[in-house]
Each structure stands twice: as C-alpha cells, then as structure tokens.
C-alpha cells in the first residue's frame, strides 16, 4: 500500500520533520490546515510555515534528537494567512529513520465547528419550513385579491379610482414575487458539467456593469479546478447575491472585492466527509457584519440593511445545499469572507 496515498486520506495534519525542523513530507490535511502547498512547506523550515504554534521549535528539535515522544494538548496555531486554530500536537520519533519525527496536528476545534454547523443547518431548515408554509398560505388569497382588483378596475370608469386598483394590482404582484422567492426551488434540477470560473465570470459581467469607480474587483483563480455537475443558473444566483452584498457593503466608502478559488481536502459538510471540494471565496474589505447577525445570517428575512429583503443569503445557502455544499462566513471590521464549498465528485 502507498503510504503517501494513505496519509493523504487522513483528516489529521501529518508532517515528517528532521532534527533541524526541515520538512521532508506533508500530507493534504497539513496543506489544508496551514494554508500552504506541500511544495512550499517542504522548501521552508517548519517555523517559516506558521505565525504561532503552541510549542517551541527548540523543544520539537530536542525531542527528535533525544528520540523522545512529545504531546501538547489544546495548543494555539496561527497560520500565515492569520487563521486561528486549536490543535493537539503529537511528535513521534521514527525508529527506523534516525533523526526524523512524525508530527501530527489534530484540530480540536473541528468537531465543535461541525456540531455548530449541524445545529445551524437544522435551525435554518426549521425557519425556512415555517416561512415557506406561511408563503403558501399567503399566495392563494393573494391571487384572489389581484383578480378582484382587476375585475373592479374594468367596472370603474373614474381614472382616480382606477389609480387605486392599479396600486392594489402592483402591490399584489410585488408580494407574489416576494413569495415566489421565499418558496424557491425545493428539489435539485438537472445538473450538467460546467466550470465554476465560467459561472463567476458571468456574474462579474452583471455586477461590474453598474459598479462604482471606487470599488475594484480582484480575481485569484486556481485554473486546475475541474468541471463539476451543477445547475449553473442556481450557482450564478448564489454567487450574485453574495457579490451584491459585498458591493453594497462598500457603497460610499469604496474598497476591494477579491474573488478566489481553491481546492480543499478532507472537508466535512453536514455529516459527510469529502476528499476534495471547491472553495469559492468572496472577500471584501468593508466594515464587516454586525456580530449579532452572524448566527442568523442565512435565515430568511434577516438583513442588516434598511432596504434589504433578507432573502439573498438564504437563497444562496439553499442553492449551495442543493449542490451538496455549504456556505461559511467569517467577518471582522475590515474583512468579510463568504466561502461557498462545493464537493468535487471523484471516481
């Protein structure tokens, strides 16, 4: 059995280091955790591949030199891209390879995030179920109201009174459109092979048509990402809603929006672990999202803007879910990042 293939299927970050803390090997989970490619990892010493690790590099070096095992629990880890994690660290000297050690970093915050995600998904689905039932109850009498206004309009010959019936019809149409958006598609449509970058480019064309001059888009794509089965219209709408939110966050102040694509390995979505997923990130340097909105961000009718409907992110989340994916959000003053995760089916 190929040990490298075996290690690359582990969720634990595994690295082989020597007494001088040079990396001889790093698995896919290590790349994912540290946010650095295996090539970059092995070209630099261990200390150059993170900002903070909750054990000194000298202690690690001494443990390998003295052929002693080492365990450090709940240690902080800060990656080069400023991601904060809590990890359990285990160093095991390799008996058959003098001067080498097997370094394992296990994310202890990962299980907590999975539990939080499952709880959030359940709460979101309950909220969406309630809203959709309410929408169904509204839709039927709304059609009757519109029909009655049309009949009344035909009987009235006073232009001033017709203005009121026209207003009723117009508002009924507006409510019907709102209800249709609330209901949304409940089942996956026919999926065909498409490239995620084609989807992004179509959305960018739409968004940049009326883009203020003080807002700039930057693109950082991984060209090796393969085509996946998708409904391109659903994913275009999911991406469009998030991009529009990013633009609105920068209105009046200007700033940058970065569209980034990468692959991530050994990612758990719901209760299923995927070997590889597409990570499509939309990052703006605006003021950030209010902390009190973060837990309910993807609920229907939740918005931080006076003129917002609160449906965009809920619809985006639903479309991602229909593709077996999810949407993550991290926000702080000066940076908000939405990441759409979509599984890549491997054979």
Asked if 3-107 and 192-343 have one fold, the answer is: no
Contact 76, 54 (CB under 8 A): yes
Task: Encode pLDDT of 285-339 as tens digits.
Answer: 999 998 888 877 877 666 655 555 567 888 888 889 889 999 999 899 999 999 9
Domains of the chain, residue spans: 3-107, 112-183, 192-343
Does residue 318 or residue 96 have the better pLDDT? Answer: 318
Q: Which residues contact 272 (CB under 8 A, 6 or more apart)?
A: 324
Angle at 285 between CA 283 and CA 290, to 5 degrees: 90
Query: For the whole model, what pTM was predicted?
Result: 0.64
Does the pLDDT of residue 75 top 70, yes or no? yes
The sheet that has 100-107: what strands, in order across it?
Answer: 23-26, 13-18, 100-107, 84-93, 70-78, 52-53
Provide Rg for the chain, Cα atoms: 26
pLDDT exceeds cutoff 80 at 130: no
Q: Say yes or no: domain 192-343 is CATH 2.60.40.150.
A: no
Q: What is the pLDDT of residues 221-280, one digit of tens each?
A: 999 999 999 999 889 989 999 999 999 999 989 999 999 999 987 788 877 878 889 999
143-199 per-position pLDDT tens digit: 888 889 889 888 888 888 888 888 888 888 877 776 776 666 655 578 899 999 999
Is it true that domain 3-107 has CATH number 3.30.450.20?
yes
Single out the residue of 31, 42, 18 nearest to residue 102, CA to CA: 18
Highest mean pLDDT among 62-66, 110-114, 148-152, 199-203: 199-203
Average pLDDT over residues 48-71: 89
268 - beta bridge partners? 273
Residue 341 has pLDDT above 90, yes or no: yes
């Amino acid at each position: 059995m190929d040990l490298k293939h075996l290690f690359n299927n582990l969720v634990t970050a595994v690295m082989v280091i020597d007494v001088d803390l040079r990396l001889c090997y790093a698995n896919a989970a290590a790349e994912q955790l540290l946010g650095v490619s295996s090539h970059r990892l092995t070209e630099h010493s261990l200390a150059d591949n993170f900002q903070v690790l909750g054990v000194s590099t000298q202690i690690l070096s001494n443990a390998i030199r003295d052929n002693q095992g080492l365990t450090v629990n709940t240690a902080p880890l800060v990656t080069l891209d400023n991601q904060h994690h809590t990890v359990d660290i285990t160093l095991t000297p390799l008996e058959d390879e003098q001067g080498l050690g097997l370094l394992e970093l296990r994310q202890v915050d990962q299980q907590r995030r999975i539990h939080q995600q499952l709880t959030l998904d359940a709460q979101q689905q309950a909220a969406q179920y309630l809203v959709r039932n309410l929408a169904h109850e509204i839709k039927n009498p709304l059609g009757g109201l519109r029909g009655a206004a049309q009949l009344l309009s035909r009987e009235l010959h006073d232009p001033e009174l017709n203005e009121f019936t026209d207003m009723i019809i117009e508002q009924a149409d507006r409510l019907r459109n709102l209800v249709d958006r609330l209901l949304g598609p409940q089942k996956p449509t026919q999926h065909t092979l498409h490239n995620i970058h084609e989807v992004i480019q179509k959305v960018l064309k739409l968004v940049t048509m009326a883009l203020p001059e003080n807002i700039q888009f930057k693109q950082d794509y991984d060209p090796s990402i393969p085509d996946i089965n998708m409904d391109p219209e659903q994913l275009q709408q999911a991406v469009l809603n998030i991009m529009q939110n990013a633009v609105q966050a920068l209105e009046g102040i200007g700033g940058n929006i970065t569209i980034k694509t990468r692959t991530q390995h050994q990612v758990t979505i719901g209760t299923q672990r995927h070997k590889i997923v597409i990570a499509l990130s939309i990052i703006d340097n605006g003021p950030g999202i209010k902390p009190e909105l973060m837990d309910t961000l993807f609920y229907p009718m939740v918005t931080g803007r006076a003129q917002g409907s609160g449906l965009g992110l809920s619809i985006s989340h639903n479309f991602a879910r229909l593709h077996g994916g999810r949407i993550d959000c991290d926000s702080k003053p000066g940076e908000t990042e939405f990441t759409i995760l979509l599984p890549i089916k491997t054979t």
